[in-house]
A and B are shown apart, each in its own frame.
Chain A
Amino acid sequence: MNADKFDMGNIDIAWCPGCGNFSILDVLKDSLAELEISPEQLVMVSGIGQAAKIPHYLKANFFNGLHGRALSPATAIKVSSPSLTVIAESGDGDMYGEGGNHFIHTIRRNPNITNIVHDNMVYGLTKGQASPTSRPGFKTGVQINGVVLEPFNPLAVAIGLDAGFAARTSITDKELTKDIIKQAVRHNGYALVDLLQPCPSFNKVNNYKWFKENTYRLEDTHDPSERDRAFSLACKTDKLALGVFYKSQKPSFEENISAGPEPLHEKRLDTDKLESLIKSFAS
């Protein structure tokens, strides 16, 4: 399948020049094309923020909802219509800040969805405040003396919760990003892709060069079934490892609740069964 299947043509894109989102969009389209997913069978779910606009810039079904809430509708969409490919894609503020509680519980629930988080360590849409992943000392118009909060560590949290699939990549390494997105979509269960990206407008510290210099690919010998090792790698933040940290095979949410493969809108109410339930209150 060709990536242009997902092209929106000549549209107005609201991202700043040089934004990492452009490359992410391209890589995403390539990944989906290589996975042979049709736009009609794909649902992109997002919240609010610059990254959350991604569904508007590629051809697919989409549910662009509320700030921090992408994971809740994504879960419900998948369980209501299990044959759809569901990708929840938004930024670090959306998924880890406003949506932190849903992030934790979606990992526990393990729906078969892919969660791509554009992680630029800053709030772009609201013009440059700290995000949950901003690094200590990062100065902004609000954090005037620099960030003092411990950064949120999405990989460590996900591995701590025994996530089905936990990976980090950086858009500075397109090839790896494409490979990881494809693996994540193929994974049965919840898959986290923490996707590092530069924000040229509001994050002058963690720029393209910084990501190049401060990241490295996990070695081929890394075994993603080793949870302890994956957790200790996730806790290392001086240099950031890229790759699939951890994978565990377990039943997805849909499998656990035995919803069946048929979409709910095709199911018909069994009136005989309901009738007998009603009658049980009359005896």
Chain B
Amino acid sequence: MNALRSENSGVSIVLCGQAGQGIQTVEKLLTSILKASGWNVFATKEYMSRIRGGTNSTLIRVGSKPVRGFINRIDVLAALDKSAGGHLAKRISPETVIMGEKEVLSGFGDTGSFFEAGFSQAAKDLGGKVYANTVAVGALLRLLGIPAEEVKEPLERFFGGKSDEIIEKNQQALQKGFEMAEKPAEDFGAGLKLSGEPDVQGRMLVNGAQAVGLGALAGGCNFISSYPMSPSTAVLAFLAQNGGGLGLIAEQAEDEIAAVNMAVGAWYAGARAMITTSGGGFALMSEGVSLAGMMESPLVMHLAQRPGPATGLPTRTEQGDLELALYSGHGEFPRIILAPGTLSEAFSLAKKAFDTADKYQVPVIILTDQYFMDSYYNTETFSLEGLKKSSYITKTDKDYLRYKLTENGISPRGVPGFGEGLVCQDSDEHDQQGRITEDLELRVKMNDKRLKKLEAAKAETVQPSLVGAEDYENIIVCWGSNYNIVKEAIELSGRSDTAMLHFSQVYPVPEKAIEKLKRAKKTAVLENNATGQFAKLLKLQLDFEPDEKILKYNGMPFAADALSEKINEMF
């Protein structure tokens, strides 16, 4: 296996089969065992928009160093269905070890190193089909060269709560798999020539949706209203399942329009509310974005992107909605758009989103995508250190003015029932009290007031991270979920003259970034879309134009290995 020579990129395992065949069970079992044994793991999936059938695959990477992004290379392929051959043809090399039942292997051509494995028969011998997945996990672990004794305990923990018999049977199934792969492992020279890191065991294993959800809770989120839409639903489900104990109210609204109007209403009454949706849902919510702008209501919106227009590719990934987030809602009003690059950043920025929205009374949009939502890896445990619940709500007095004209545009925000004053919010242009006005001079004052808040909010701009060579000649600019992919691609390319400038705040664009961009001899902007939406924004806000654009919009994320070759061609 090629990978075994690569210290940096570890081993890449792909599971491929139909939906409903148990890929997710294998994925969960394998990653939790590996992580519990001290290996760094990463997993991400690509799937078709159907409940059963189709051809889906999950990439699992394991390494002694952190592995955190998508790559094309497949070292071991566990094929559960004939269609895997055609589906993954471009990613299979002669060194790919392909394991599967006899009839499944017949779906592949000549490329690859084949290992015929009788998972079903072995499972049947043990008393049921249900054990086939554990047999496969055993075989995979043997190929990786992990000793059977090392995984006994993690397996027991994985099935914790199940009967002793079930645990025992699964131990036997795992052993069966180990034995089955004994000879192929020797033939293919398999075995992880890497070392685990003991402290990996104590770190978190989370995906993008969980990171956003935990960050929201840390930000004081206590209300979520949303309509389910892939790939954003996982955040709604996470908060519904885990927020109750923290006093969070989760409501599945009848549509996205209700969801966003509920969220604005909840903020009005003093809640810290968010919505989670995808592009199509966000499009429906644009009236609510505009409402928040006019009412000067805080609002936190999580937009998990997928390819459009319209229903597009519902289960795939893209960064095609930056302009939607940027321009949604009519009229002119400030907003802030954050795009976390790593899981720990998803946590910290989701938390920050609530504070920023509350402080400046503006909508804050968190942009992620399907790839980010569905990817997970072990990361340092999120810290609540220094967390203080900052409340920006004012107790009102009799003469309270909701839209008091102030120097920085921010008026003290009261909530109904707290104090002696009345809290009046209006979607029409209004006076300082919040009542409808057609005083055109006041209109200008109120508009200026709203826009001024963006200037104030700039004090808290999230600066981009420069990763890689300090004395770079080339810079690759990226944003959002591409952080780990570009970082790894530069490492794999071996180029010490190339750095990455990653933006976690895409709007307003951090102005100081221009200094770093100007220092480069050659620049490229990389985005998961067809028109270079962030590049356009850089031109608009910083008057910066890159030498190259690297764009991908086939529904798949960039692959670090393919990108490293591209870097060497380009620079």
Whether A72 pairs with B246 at a CB distance below 8 angstroms is no
Taken together as a complex, chains A and B put the C-alpha atoms of A78 and B174 apart, in Å, by 54
B418 CB-CB contact with A under 8 Å: yes
Shortest Cβ gap from B427 to chain A (Å): 5
A118 within 8 A of B: no
A152 at the binding interface (Cβ < 8 Å): no
B48 adjacent to chain A (CB < 8 Å): no
Check A76–B269 contact: CB distance below 8 A: yes
Scoring A residues 112 to 126 as 1 if CB is less than 8 Å from chain B, else 0, what string do you get? 000000000000000
Is the CB–CB distance between B261 and A267 below 8 Å? Answer: no
A75 within 8 A of B: yes
Specify which of A104, A263, A278, A281 is in contact with B384 (CB 8 Å cutoff): A278
A259 to chain B, nearest CB (A): 6
Q: A277-B242, A279-B381 are in contact. Are A83 and B261 (CB under 8 A)?
A: no
B418 to chain A, nearest CB (A): 7
Whether a CB of chain A sits under 8 angstroms from the CB of B217 is yes
With A41-B417, A81-B415, A278-B214 known as contacts, the answer to whether A264 contacts B223 (CB < 8 A) is yes
B214 to chain A: closest CB distance in Å? 6
Please report which residues of chain A, range 240-283, place their CB below 8 angstroms from some CB of chain B when the two chains form the complex.
Answer: 257, 259-260, 263-271, 273-275, 277-279, 281-282
> Contact: A65 with B222, CB < 8 Å?
no
Asked if A66 contacts B220 (CB within 8 A), the reply is no
In angstroms, Cα B259 to Cα A55, docked, is: 23
What CA separation (Å) do A143 and B204 show in the bound complex? 63
> Is B273 at the interface (CB under 8 A from chain A)?
yes
Inter-subunit contact B422/A60 (CB<8 Å): yes
- Pairwise interchain contact B214-A277, C-beta atoms closer than 8 A: yes
A267, B204: Cβ atoms under 8 Å? no
Q: Quick check: B425 and A63 within 8 Å, CB to CB?
A: yes
Residues of B178-227 at the interface with A, using a CB-CB cut-off of 8 Å, are 202-206, 210, 214, 217-218, 220, 222-223, 225
Interface-central residue, B222, B262, B288, B434, by most chain A CB under 10 Å: B262
Contact call B266/A264, Cβ cutoff below 8 A: yes
- A43: interface (CB < 8 Å): yes
Contact assessment for B264 and A263 in the assembled complex, using a CB-CB cutoff below 8 Å? no
Least CB distance from A276 to B in Å reads 9
Query: Within the assembled complex, what's the spacing in Å between the Cα atoms of A257 and B250?
Result: 9
B259, B291, B393: which contacts A65 (Cβ < 8 A)? Answer: B291
Q: Is the CB of B422 within 8 A of A80?
A: no
**A63/B202 in contact, CB under 8 A:** no
Do the beta carbons of A64 and B222 come within 8 Å of each other?
no
Q: A269-B220, A277-B217 are in contact. Are A74 and B424 (CB under 8 A)?
A: no
**Which of B245, B258, B273 neighbours the largest number of chain A CB atoms within 10 Å of its CB?**
B258
- Any chain B CB within 8 A of the CB of A157? no
Q: Which of B249, B272, B273 contacts A257 (CB under 8 A)? A: B249
Contact partners of A63 in chain B: CB under 8 A? 265, 268, 425
Contact A274 B422 (CB under 8 A): no
Interface mask (B362-382 → A, CB under 8 Å = 1, otherwise 0): 000000000000000000011
- For residue A43, which residues in chain B have a CB less than 8 angstroms away from its CB? 269, 416
Q: B265 near A39 (CB under 8 angstroms)? A: no
Q: Does B420 touch A at the CB level, under 8 Å?
A: yes
| Contact A40/B268 with A79-B249, A102-B254 known, Cβ cut-off 8 Å | no
B435 interface residue (CB < 8 Å to A): yes
Residues of chain A contacted by B415 (CB below 8 angstroms): 81, 263, 265
Q: How far is the CB of A53 from chain B (nearest CB, A)?
A: 7
C-alpha gap A72/B262 in the complex (Å): 5
Contacting residues, chain B, for A80 (C-beta < 8 A): 223, 249, 265-266, 269-271, 273
- Name the contact of B270 in the complex, choosing from A39, A263, A278 (C-beta under 8 A): A263
- Interchain CA distance A76-B530 in the complex, whole Å: 39
CA–CA, A270 and B246, complex, Å:
6
Measured between beta carbons, the chain A residues less than 8 angstroms from B389 are 268-269
Chain B contact residue count (CB 8 A cutoff): 65
Residue A56 CB within 8 A of the other chain? yes
Contact B268 A73 (CB under 8 A): yes
Name which residue of chain B comes closest to A277, CB basis: B242
Q: Judging by beta carbons under 8 Å apart, are A66 and B427 in contact?
A: yes
- In the complex, B150 has a CB within 8 A of chain A: no
Check if A66 sits within 8 Å of B436, measured CB to CB: no
Decide: B222 and A69 in contact? CB cutoff 8 A. no
Instruction: Indicate with 1 or 0, residue by residue over A38-62, a CB within 8 angstroms of chain B CB atoms.
Output: 0111010100100001011001111
A-B pairs with beta carbons under 8 A, tally: 190
Contacts A264-B269, A274-B218; A101 near B287 (Cβ below 8 A): no
Q: Is A77 positioned at the interface, with any CB of B under 8 Å from its CB?
A: yes
Q: Is A105 an interface residue, CB under 8 A from the partner? A: yes
Closest to A44 in B: B424
The complex places the Cα of A143 from the Cα of B273 at a distance, in Å, of 42
Chain A residues, Cβ within 8 Å of B287: 66, 69
Q: Given the interface contacts A265-B415, A277-B214, does A56 sit within 8 Å of B381 by beta carbon? A: no
Distance in angstroms between the alpha carbons of A64 and B295 in the assembled complex: 9
In the docked arrangement, what's the CA distance between A248 and B272, Å? 33
Q: How far is the CA of A260 from the CA of B244 in the complex (A)?
A: 12
B555 to chain A, nearest CB (A): 29
B258 CB contacts on chain A under 8 angstroms: 69, 72, 101-102, 105
**A156 close to B (CB within 8 Å):** no
* Pairwise interchain contact B384-A65, C-beta atoms closer than 8 A: no
Asked if A84 CB lies within 8 Å of chain B CBs, one says yes
> Which positions 87-130 of chain A face chain B at CB distance < 8 Å?
101-102, 104-105
A66 touches B291 (CB 8 A): yes
Q: In the assembly, what is the distance between CA of A64 and CA of B264, in Å?
A: 12
| Interface flag for B477 (CB, 8 Å) | no
A265 partner, pick from B271, B291, B381, B384, beta carbons under 8 A: B271
Residues from chain B with a CB closer than 8 A to the CB of A101 are 254-255, 257-258
Per-residue CB contact flags for chain B residues 16-38 toward chain A (1 = under 8 Å, else 0) read 00000000000000000000000
Instruction: A40 to B424: give the CA distance in the assembly, Å.
Output: 11
Contact with A along B224-249 (1 / 0, CB 8 A): 01000000000000000010011101
Chain B hits for A83, CB < 8 A = 417
Which A residue's beta carbon lies closest to that of B217?
A: A274
- In the bound complex, residues from chain B placing their C-beta under 8 Å from that of A48 are 427
Closest to B268 in A: A63
Q: Please list 26 pairs of residues, one from A and one from B, whose beta carbons are closer than 8 Å in the complex, sorted by A's number.
A: A40-B421, A45-B265, A56-B435, A61-B422, A63-B425, A64-B426, A65-B265, A73-B268, A76-B225, A76-B273, A77-B268, A81-B269, A83-B417, A84-B416, A101-B255, A102-B254, A105-B254, A257-B251, A264-B269, A265-B415, A267-B247, A274-B214, A274-B218, A274-B384, A277-B246, A281-B381
Besides A83-B417, A267-B247, 15 other A-B contacts (C-beta < 8 A)? A55-B424, A65-B265, A73-B266, A76-B261, A76-B269, A79-B249, A259-B249, A263-B269, A265-B391, A269-B217, A270-B245, A274-B218, A274-B384, A281-B210, A282-B381
Instruction: List the 8 closest A-B pairs by CB distance, nearest first.
Output: A73-B265, A265-B270, A76-B265, A72-B261, A61-B416, A105-B254, A80-B269, A76-B262
Chain A positions near chain B (C-beta within 8 angstroms): 39-41, 43, 45, 48, 53, 55-56, 59-66, 69, 72-81, 83-84, 101-102, 104-105, 257, 259-260, 263-271, 273-275, 277-279, 281-282
